[in-house]
Amino acid sequence: MRVLVTGGAGYIGSVVSARLLAEGHQVVIVDDLSTGHADAVPKAAEFHQLSIAALDPVLGDWAIDAVIHFAAKSLVGESVDEPAQYWRNNVVGTVALLDSLRAHGVPRIVFSSSAATYGHSDQQPIREDTPARPGNPYGASKLAIDLALADYARAYGLAATSLRYFNVAGALIDAAGDSYGERHATETHLIPNALRAAAGQGPALSLFGTDYPTPDGTCVRDYIHVRDLADAHLLALRAGVPGEHQIVNLGSGAGSSVREVLATVGDVTGRQVPVNEAARRAGDPPVLVASNEYAASLLGWRPTLDLTAMITDAWRFEQRGR
């Protein structure tokens, strides 16, 4: 297929683009580079520096078969402080994209949704029928797009799949030696921050809460390797059904505590992660774990790479100078 990847200069978008190319697809990447990196675009991809709201005049010339939509603002704290940016960029921009797809007859879309749509659920593991109660504008913006996709599928025959990720980690280093990994200007994720702390390239890690009702007192989260995540996107492209909208959770189906992550970072790097213990953050639930049974039944997908592989690949990416 000829696939349009929005946000393809970002972390997950670049990995998925590289995997698409490796599988023989043609890839057209659109990214405004507000948070992405031009040098993260795979060499074999066609690249356009554009906003997703500005595609209508050019989309008809590209003969696109499907879209994988990553382009979005994605910082929870920023969304609380500046919600207008999230409604404008994530929701209004995506509706403009959907109208462009409809105008030019693009039949299918895979959307990068989020576990943030569920909010702080007491149901564990979290299934697709768990009530969606987002606790911040970022999660609300993702849920709004999921709802829009359901309406566009029903009314206009779009084949739409929303993939709700849990905690993504790791990196891709392909057969040519090109590497794709996390390098956010504002890094909020545990694993890259722990690796930088272990390497002495960042501050000591703040460990928020050691008295949770979990085996070691720290929060438990569900981590998935970005390569497994990318494979799910390729499967979702083929699984879309015209007129239907599917929501699919992507996670390991198991959890790792913060202390387990830090211990694994120590094992992989041979360096202890410096830690400052701190009080719990308001609103952090003790456990968030996905059910991935629907992904297995609908897509034939199961994760294959464990926490050690995620951290090993992320460390290799860090060692290459990001």
Catalytic residues: 138
What are the start-end ranges of the E strands in 216-288?
220-221, 223-225, 245-250, 256-257, 275-278, 287-288
How is residue 50 annotated by DSSP? Answer: -
> What is d(CA 131, CA 118) in angstroms, rounded to the nearest whole number?
6
**Which of 13, 17, 3, 20 lies closest to 34, judged by CA?**
13
> What is d(CA 246, CA 228) in angstroms, rounded to the nearest whole number?
19
Q: What are phi and psi of 64, to 5 degrees?
A: -85, 135
Torsion over CA: 211, 213, 216, 218 (sign): negative
> What is d(CA 195, CA 316) in angstroms, rounded to the nearest whole number?
10
3-state class (DSSP) for residue 270: coil
> What is d(CA 239, CA 202) in angstroms, rounded to the nearest whole number?
42
Q: Write the DSSP assignment of 104-135 as a string of letters.
A: TT--EEEEEEEGGGT-S-SSSSBPTTS----S
How is residue 290 annotated by DSSP? Answer: B
